[in-house]
Amino acid sequence: MYVKDYIFVSTAPSPPNTVKLTPSQTQIKISWTNVPGEVVTSHFVYWRKTTTTVGSGTTTVNSLQTSYTITGLTSMITYKVQITSLSGSARSTIVSLTTSTGIFSVELSCLKQGVEL
């Protein structure tokens, strides 16, 4: 019996489109759109505080999802959030954004008390 070796080559997909971060007091929602016609098997989301190079967290999101909410974050901290698309073992280029938690809550609180920003 003869067994032939096969090598599967994956083409790197395009990165997600229209990536948006929506922060709140202790969480950040990341949302995106997939590139039409691209073969994407999953997305990889990574986040960390901008004051450190050590990662806070990572998750793999299935290819049908177009958003993920990062929870359990510290309020009033700036975070770097990155996302990449995967097709098999091939990864797209990384989309990287930065936002801060708690900003909108502080603005709303100040406006309610008549304090100008």
Range of the domain at 78: 17-108
Residue 109 phi/psi, 5° resolution? -65, -45
Quote the percentage of the chain above a pLDDT of 70.
78
Q: Taking residues 99-103, what's their average pLDDT?
A: 83
- 32 lies in a domain? yes
Residue 20's alpha-carbon distances to 31, 56, 96, 117, in angstroms, are: 5, 19, 10, 25
Q: What is the pLDDT confidence band of residue 5, given thresholds at 50, 70 and 90?
A: low
What total of structural domains would you count in the chain?
1
- 116 lies in a domain? no
pLDDT per position as a tens digit, 50-92 = 988 777 899 999 999 999 999 999 999 999 999 999 998 899 9
CATH number at residue 72: 2.60.40.10
